[in-house]
Amino acid sequence: MKEIILSKELLDQVEHFSDKKLIKKNDITLLLENYFKNQKVKEFEDFIFTGKYINGLFNVLQTAGSISDFQNLEQVKRDLNNNIEKVTSLIKEITLSMNDKNKTSIEKDYLSTTKESFFNIKQLVEDLDLIKKYVNFLKRTDHTTI
């Protein structure tokens, strides 16, 4: 597998590639800067993979509501809960190296047990899905800088 190099232009490139604005771009920028600063490329790739996976599970649940004989609904819900816990753990881990102001902001927006926090996570994973698609594109086309 090719090595991926994090760059600060990543989010602009994702928006250009997907032709969509990232909803949580400012927060992702804070997270990305810490991954970039600490050269944690593998952790970053795990973070965006998990986000893409969660977004897919949200889509499955949305579709399941319109299918009367949908099997495995409970399994999908369990998988969603487990992966939301994983992404929040990854957020906690990366915030350890943030300054207090940014850490408090991220914790308030994503790690509290409120409807707003859940909605923020849902928007974040939608953005992470776009980032993962872009990273996959780069890997398929022999680009290595992200």
pLDDT at 74: 81
For range 79-83, the mean pLDDT: 93
CA distance 109 to 38: 23
Which band of pLDDT confidence, cut at 50, 70 and 90, is reported for residue 144? low
pLDDT at 65: 65
CA distance 114 to 143: 40
How many of the other CB atoms lie within 10 Å of CB of 57?
A: 19
Closest CA to 94 of 54, 144, 61, 128: 128
3-state secondary structure of 145: strand
- List the chain domain ranges: 10-140
Tokens linked to 107: 């914790």
Tens of pLDDT, residues 18-59: 999 999 999 998 888 887 777 677 888 899 999 999 999 998
The length of the chain, given as a count of residues: 146
pLDDT at 51: 95
Question: Which residues are paired to 39 by β-bridges?
Answer: none
The residue that leads in pLDDT, 71 or 132, is 132
CA distance 8 to 31: 11
Helices 41-64 and 115-140 pack at an angle, to 10 degrees, of 120
> What letter does residue 101 receive in the DSSP assignment?
H
Tens of pLDDT, residues 101-142: 999 999 999 999 899 999 999 999 999 999 999 988 988 886
Q: How many CA atoms, within 13 angstroms, populate the side-chain half-sphere of residue 94?
A: 29
pLDDT at 2: 46
Please answer whether residues 64 and 70 qualify as being in contact, where contact means their C-beta atoms are separated by less than 8 angstroms: yes
Tokens linked to 2: 């090719």
